Chain A
């Protein structure tokens, strides 16, 4: 029991911030705290199921907890407004240009479907690898890679609606057919 407690405390200290960040970019701040706490409560109760590399597992749990809390469009709208209202930091050269770029990127991001936004968040904001992100979504790595590519292409399209896509012509292929 002492070992379990020690293991859990280490898990908590090493990953609490990542789980909180994960929740905070998907749900409002007060609920983000609840999501993080609930996620670790699940981890405590199911400690024997937590893998040695626990980040994807924890974020997968957090995602399910959020899914139970974050159903209304008004909450999504509130999050989008918060995204736009957050102060710009790390803008040493040209704050005005950075702000404009940020607004442009976030507007393009907001225009995407939730499925696209989620794969992009996992890579760009949560800093996960394809493998970890596919574990969070409980899909195959190949399916994730295809989903990610499509989301990126749509983000580029939303950012530059006038310019043609640089990607080569698409040859449709079933995501799992050859893996």
Chain B
């Protein structure tokens, strides 16, 4: 039996408190709260602009109009809506492309990606552990040449000292810098009964936020095993 990590221990420790929360409100009280909310007016509170905020609202509207005018001139037009370079600064990473199935996990890919066997294969050796081999891999490509690959390593991979640790939900992830391999690569530690496996997510031109989102889209919320 494997040792639980700190997040699992914390999750377990909070369970009684969450169970207590469930008993705070019974069905009757919940319905009464709902009735009170539905009886309250909906739209007035939001639409009314207090007099002291009116100048601010006018300035805001003017700024918005200016922004619309600038955008309509094409000054900030994005190069491609389906390309692989969507920015990680955006809060939402759209993963509406094809799904890649791998070792029972289903990973979503960015918009515009379809399954492909033409993406170049990654190096057979991996940074930190040259003898570690890829057990299985799936890839997807976009029309403009982008590639995303997900893979499972067949045995424990050693985290190279230059890897940057990063949290991927309840999992430990490590980013390997592009100087070692030609693209940003995310390794995610997946605890299992037989030991640790690593999920690898790599893609040309993908942001770190996209790599993390792809990994998260296929992994269960909490590590199993």
A-to-B contact residues, CB < 8 Å? 4-5, 8-9, 12, 16-17, 20-21, 23-25, 29, 32-33, 36-37, 40-41, 44-47, 82-83, 86-90, 101-102, 105-106, 109, 120-121, 123-125, 127, 129-131, 134-135, 138, 140-142, 144-149, 151-153, 155-156, 159, 167-171, 173, 176, 178-179
Q: Which of A41, A90, A142 has the most CB of B within 10 A?
A: A142
Contacts of B37 in A (CB 8 A): 8, 12, 37, 40-41, 44
Question: How far apart sit A82 and B18, CA to CA, in the bound complex (Å)?
Answer: 12
Q: Which of B6, B166, B209 has the most CB of A within 10 A?
A: B6
> Known interface pairs A24-B21, A127-B221, A171-B162. Does A120 touch B93 (Cβ–Cβ under 8 Å)?
no
Contacts of B135 in A (CB 8 A): none
**Are A105 and B13 within 8 A (Cβ)?**
yes
Contact of B166 among A32, A86, A145 (CB under 8 A): A145
B-to-A contact residues, CB < 8 Å? 6-22, 24-25, 29-30, 33-34, 36-38, 40, 42-43, 45-46, 87-93, 159-170, 172-174, 177, 184, 207-209, 212-213, 216, 221-222
Question: How far apart sit A121 and B172, CA to CA, in the bound complex (Å)?
Answer: 16
- Extra 16 A-B pairs, beta carbons < 8 Å, given A86-B17, A129-B221: A20-B22, A20-B24, A44-B37, A45-B45, A90-B15, A102-B13, A123-B169, A124-B8, A141-B212, A141-B213, A145-B173, A152-B7, A159-B6, A178-B208, A179-B88, A179-B89
Question: How far apart sit A102 and B11, CA to CA, in the bound complex (Å)?
Answer: 10
Contacts of B25 in A (CB 8 A): 16, 20, 33, 36
Contacts of B11 in A (CB 8 A): 124-125
Contact of A142 among B17, B29, B212 (CB under 8 A): B212
Contacts of A109 in B (CB 8 A): 10, 13
Question: How far apart sit A27 and B7, CA to CA, in the bound complex (Å)?
Answer: 21
Question: How far apart sit A29 and B9, CA to CA, in the bound complex (Å)?
Answer: 23
Closest to B33 in A: A37
Contact of A148 among B12, B15, B167 (CB under 8 A): B167
Contact of B20 among A86, A141, A147, A171 (CB under 8 A): A86
